[in-house]
């Protein structure tokens, strides 16, 4: 899982290697401009969905997820794929077999779960919807981490793309990679690498292409990969001499059209989000908006913050205080706090969402389950609700 990052220390810039070969001139240090507080609404055009971790997949009709109700039911060798209809908000197993009771392996909604330690199966930490199909990650044949493609109605599935081979057979464990499907490619980070790389492979293809790597010999973590408007954004954390207290973090961008990789900004340690060419990020002093084009930033919220997770919706900037009590704070784009939401269901892991719906893994009485927040409700009625079958 991603590391929460707090301490700022050594500043050192590592330039980007594309395919491990050439140092690019596009890799340049961004200038920090004047900091001023303004109304940012005029600069914003469109809003894309803004998910963290990839636990929830969004289609035009609803939301898919692996059932995430831990500790309630007996541990199972099976993973259940569920679907929430966008209108009715009803959660059902993703199975269209006539007369199916959805309670056995025969049901289309059940898949082999890798956590059963069988050698093949799906992992419940990633799901994504892309061009009419659902994509999942798991272990396939011969210890390969593979991308699986599932029909949107759950009727068929196949191993789509073998990403890389693990040592699962000999060690008995593997680490789920971070995965993002975009622009016909699957982008992935093998979390078992000491110096992580961001690699991509065409969906259904075999040729891997390294998008980002660091050849300095330092321990490097790459994470928080997001796709926005033709660019893949990702965060790089470097640990000089392997020392955790000396880590430094920066945000990079890979332009899928020209294949150029460039540094966006150094010093982005926590959660970030991108809207058009504006990067919203937090540090201990507040919430900032950095313009990639103009290379300057504005303060949106000026108050001490403990690295909350940021989601951008049509009307609000949502900050989830995941390191504290899980309270959600809603700000307008002028930086004014308009609502806070906390309650009996407390998010342990905040998953972001879109302008209509937010998601989290919530806890209540030692039970962890997926929950959602319906943003179509009035601000004073917002609350977390169970994303659960009836």
Binding site for Zn ion (CB under 5 A): 95, 97, 100, 102, 107
Q: Which is nearer to Zn ion, 57 or 107 (CB)?
A: 107
Residues 347 and 343: their CA atoms lie apart, in Å, by: 10
CB of 109 to Zn ion, least distance (A): 5
Considering the complex, state which of residue 112 and residue 276 has its C-beta at the smaller distance from Zn ion: 112
What phi, psi does 129 have (nearest 5°)?
A: -105, 130
Phi, psi (degrees; rounded to nearest 5) at 317: -100, 120
- Which residues is 128 bridged to in the sheet? 135
Closest to Zn ion by CB, 8 vs 97, is 97
Q: Which is nearer to Zn ion, 97 or 323 (CB)?
A: 97
User: How near is the Cβ of 111 to Zn ion at its closest, in Å?
Assistant: 12
How does strand 328-331 pair with strand 384-386?
Answer: unpaired
Indicate the residue among 95 and 237 with the shorter CB distance to Zn ion.
95
Distance between CA 211 and CA 258 in Å, rounded? 12
Q: Minimum Å distance from CB 139 to Zn ion? A: 24
Element holding 170 (H helix, E strand): helix 168-171
Shortest Cβ 95–Zn ion spacing (Å)? 3
Residue owning tokens 């929430």: 84
Give dist(CA 344, CA 36) in Å, integer.
38
Compute the least distance from the CB of residue 170 to Zn ion, in Å. 36
Q: Which is nearer to Zn ion, 91 or 107 (CB)?
A: 107
* Rounded Cα gap, residues 372 and 352, in angstroms: 10
Q: Compute φ and ψ for 93, nearest 5 degrees.
A: -65, 145
What is d(CA 28, CA 389) in angstroms, rounded to the nearest whole number?
50
* DSSP bridge pairs for 179: 188
DSSP category for residue 334: T
| CA-only gyration radius of the chain, Å | 21
What phi and psi, each to the nearest 5 degrees, are found at residue 114?
-60, -25
In the bound state with Zn ion, the residue whose beta carbon lies nearer, of 108 and 313, is 108
CB of residue 79 vs Zn ion: minimum separation in angstroms? 14
> Which residue number, 92 or 339, has a Cβ lying nearer to Zn ion?
92
Q: Minimal distance in Å, beta carbon 125 to Zn ion?
A: 23
CA–CA separation, 236 and 242 (whole Å) = 14
Smallest separation (angstroms) from Zn ion to the CB of 6: 46
Question: At its nearest, how many Å lie between Zn ion and the CB of residue 121?
Answer: 18
Name 138's bridge partners: 122, 146
Provide the β-strand partners of residue 69. Answer: 369
Q: Which residues have a Cβ under 8 Å from the Cβ of 266 and sit 6 or more positions away?
A: 11, 13, 29, 30, 248, 249, 250
Choose between 73 and 207: whose C-beta lies nearer to Zn ion.
Answer: 73
């Amino acid at each position: 899982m991603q590391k929460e990052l707090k301490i700022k220390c050594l500043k050192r810039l590592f330039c980007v290697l594309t395919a491990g070969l050439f140092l690019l001139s596009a890799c340049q240090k961004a200038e920090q401009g004047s900091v001023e507080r303004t109304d940012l609404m005029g600069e914003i055009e469109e809003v894309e969905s803004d998910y963290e971790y990839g636990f929830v997949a969004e289609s035009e009709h609803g939301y898919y997820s692996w059932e995430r109700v831990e500790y309630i039911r007996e541990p199972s060798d099976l993973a259940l794929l569920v679907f929430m209809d966008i209108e009715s908000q009803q959660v059902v197993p993703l199975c269209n077999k006539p007369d199916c009771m959805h309670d056995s392996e025969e049901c289309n909604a059940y898949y082999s779960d890798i956590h059963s330690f069988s050698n093949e199966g799906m992992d419940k930490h990633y799901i994504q919807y892309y061009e009419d199909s659902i994509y999942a990650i798991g272990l396939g044949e011969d210890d390969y981490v593979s991308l699986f493609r599932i029909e949107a109605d759950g009727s068929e599935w196949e191993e789509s793309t073998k990403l890389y081979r693990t040592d699962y057979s000999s060690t008995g464990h593997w680490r789920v990679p971070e995965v993002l499907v975009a622009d016909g490619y699957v982008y992935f980070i093998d979390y078992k690498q000491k110096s992580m790389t961001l690699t991509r492979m065409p969906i259904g293809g075999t040729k891997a292409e390294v998008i980002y790597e660091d050849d300095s010999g330092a321990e490097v973590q790459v994470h928080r990969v997001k796709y926005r408007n033709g660019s893949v954004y990702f965060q790089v954390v470097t640990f000089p001499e392997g020392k955790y207290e000396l880590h430094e973090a920066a945000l990079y961008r890979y332009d899928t059209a020209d294949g150029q990789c460039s540094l966006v900004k150094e010093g982005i340690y926590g959660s970030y989000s991108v809207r058009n060419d504006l990067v919203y990020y937090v540090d201990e002093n507040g919430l900032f908006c950095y313009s990639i084009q103009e290379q300057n930033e504005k303060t949106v919220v000026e108050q001490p913050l403990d690295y909350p997770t940021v989601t951008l919706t049509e009307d609000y900037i949502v900050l989830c205080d995941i390191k504290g009590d899980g309270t959600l704070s809603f700000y307008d784009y002028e930086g004014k706090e308009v609502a806070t939401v906390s309650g009996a269901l407390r998010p342990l892991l905040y998953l972001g969402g879109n302008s209509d719906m937010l998601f989290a893994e919530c806890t209540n009485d030692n039970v962890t389950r997926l929950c959602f927040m319906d943003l179509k409700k009035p601000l004073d009625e917002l609350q977390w609700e169970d994303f659960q079958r009836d």
